[in-house]
């Protein structure tokens, strides 16, 4: 079992050698442009375009249904970006915690399998703890089980 490596840096500029996957959480309502998604869009256009196509076609897009727990893998330069639907709706007064931990576990399981097949490392900010309204003490064990438990190297980035 691998361990999670914590570093200070930018998750859109992952460290290390070999194939890489950047994993992040998206919502199930087709909204993109805030949080980490905004940083991805500033660096590459493909992840946002792919997410919007996926939402527009609602599951008819490349045979991956647009629903909680599913993931779209998009090439951005030489890096895969994994957009994981693990947020139901948007954060707000009536929805202070849109993260769905069960959907996150399913999505990370898919990311883990994808990364293992490609001998890739997985990189991310502290997913689920910003606009998804989650807590790291709930997210970290899911990462440990679904990624580290498969032997997938994981790096979590905190901005300076």
Burial class (CB in 10 A: 0-12, 13-18, 19+), 154: buried
- The Cα–Cα gap between 15 and 26 comes to 23
pLDDT of residue 144: 97
- The Cα–Cα gap between 134 and 123 comes to 18
Nearest residue to 30 (alpha-carbon basis) of 67, 81, 69: 67
pLDDT of residue 57: 87
Query: For 74-107, how does the pLDDT look when each residue is reduced to its tens digit (9 = 90+)?
Result: 999 999 999 999 999 999 999 999 999 999 999 9
pLDDT: is 11 or 160 the higher one? 11
Count of other CB atoms within 10 angstroms of residue 42: 9
State yes or no: pLDDT of 60 exceeds 80. no
Answer yes or no: pTM beyond 0.85.
yes
pLDDT of residue 142: 98
pLDDT: is 151 or 62 the higher one? 151
Domains with residue ranges and CATH for the chain: 4-158 (3.40.220.10)
61: confidence class by pLDDT, cuts 50, 70, 90: low
62: confidence class by pLDDT, cuts 50, 70, 90: low
């Amino acid at each position: 079992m691998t361990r999670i490596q914590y570093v200070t840096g930018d998750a859109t500029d992952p460290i290390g050698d070999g194939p890489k996957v950047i994993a992040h959480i998206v919502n199930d309502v087709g909204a993109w442009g805030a949080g980490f998604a905004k940083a991805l869009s500033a660096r590459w256009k493909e992840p946002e375009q792919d997410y919007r196509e996926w939402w527009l076609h609602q599951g008819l897009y490349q045979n991956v249904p647009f629903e909680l727990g599913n993931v779209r893998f998009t090439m951005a330069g030489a890096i895969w970006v994994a957009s994981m639907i693990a947020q139901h709706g948007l954060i707000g007064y009536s929805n202070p915690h849109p993260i769905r931990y069960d959907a996150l576990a399913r999505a990370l399981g898919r990311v883990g399998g994808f990364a293992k097949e490609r001998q890739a490392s997985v990189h991310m900010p502290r997913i689920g703890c910003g606009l998804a309204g989650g807590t790291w003490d709930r997210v970290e064990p899911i990462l440990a089980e679904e990624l580290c438990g498969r032997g997938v190297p994981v790096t979590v980035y905190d901005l300076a």
